[in-house]
Amino acid sequence: MALAAGTRLGHYEIISRLGAGGMGEVYRARDARLGRDVALKILPAEVAGDASRQRLFEKEARALAALSHPNIVAVFDVGTDGGFSYIVSELVDGKPLRGSGFGLRETVDIAVQIASGLAAAHSAGIIHRDLKPDNILLTRDGRVKILDFGLAKVSVGQVDAAASTETLAVESAPGVVVGTVGYMSPEQVRGLPVTNQTDLFSFGVVLYELVMGERPFPGNSVMAVCDAILHDPPHGFGDRPIPGKLKAIIRKLLEKGPANRYDSAEVHLELKALDSSLALAGPARLSRTAWIAVGAGAVLACIMTGWFWHRSSRERWARETATTEVTRLVDAADYVKAAALAREARSVLPEDPTLEKLWMRATGEVSVSSVPAGAEVSIRLYSGGSECLGISREDASPQDSRTSRRLRLAGGQARIRNR
């Protein structure tokens, strides 16, 4: 039932209905406290009536409210009133990203902005889960705004067997995964847990549709589309004059296996490099000197892209692979290996709270004193191996005959010797 103009929810007064979708009805509302117009989304009744999903909704909304990015619709507030659960966000003067009537430069610019928003959200631990053109707004001045981050996690839609763009609910181990069939990743179709790469597959579908005017996995029913997503390669590009680099980016985004897709930071850098190369290769004729500069710039862009790719790969290794392995080693009481691996991972992500906790679990603090000062102290684990602690004559103070240092060592038993 649509809310009438003048209805109040909290300190928000409904002005008019803007639209509706699988995630609820959207209204233009007036914030009586701050005197500004906002977008107010009423979530489906099943969310308000389910305490666990209500808590999940509020958790997702708080995480998103803490995120400030020019390509993500800002969340201002969340509340419940009169049996309605709602989320309040900025009111964007824009239209959903539909169709393929964009030039190459404009398409790549839009893609860069989408990738930037996804990278920011993913770095904050937020996954969209239902990225599609209807959830991407384009303002009059060309600014991309992504909306409805995380809401698919707490909402359930209905499936129309004759349509390939309806919202599909799939029960999975972590909870309920919802996506729009034509834009779902293979893991979503299978009901598997989602990751950042899930959003990137959907991004690949959106980008393909921008370029080609159709989705890469068409079908005349939900089952046909799901089967194509799982088993078929994406449709090709025909004879369209599309840069080879853009084709390669789209193909990698649409890889079946999540591990074979880009990291969100990687694809953002790749698209920025492509955008820069298109700008350099503009329609104007360039002098020989200018072309040399273009070539040098392209080489530099490739070098920087490679560096950032390597860095992001190392960060992903530290955050995902190393963290899991250190946890296993600590649980198995293999503290020496755990500490060594944690030390390497912390050099990549020095301020990561998870790695810091694992480092504290894998190591213990030892206080070593040398009397008289200047002794070299080493340890040897019962299992073998030796590590010099580094207390040397330079550590001694002229006023003190004792050298003391507090150190963190791998847990377990060790012999300590000084000389």
Q: Which residues are catalytic?
A: 130
CA atoms of 82 and 79, how far apart (whole Å): 10
- Check residue 76 and report its DSSP letter: E
**Contact in structure between 289 and 281 (CB atoms under 8 Å):** no
Q: How many C-beta neighbours within 10 Å does residue 192 have?
A: 17
**Contact in structure between 93 and 140 (CB atoms under 8 Å):** yes
- Check residue 11 and report its DSSP letter: T
- Residue 125, classed as helix, strand or coil, is coil
Which whole-number Å values give the CA distances from 223 to 156, 161, 189, 321, in the listed order? 19, 8, 10, 35
CA atoms of 127 and 135, how far apart (whole Å): 13
Phi, psi (5° rounding) for residue 283? -70, -20
Question: Residue 42: which of 74, 68, 12, 72 has the closest Cα?
Answer: 12
**Contact in structure between 385 and 336 (CB atoms under 8 Å):** yes
- Check residue 72 and report its DSSP letter: B
CA atoms of 80 and 66, how far apart (whole Å): 20
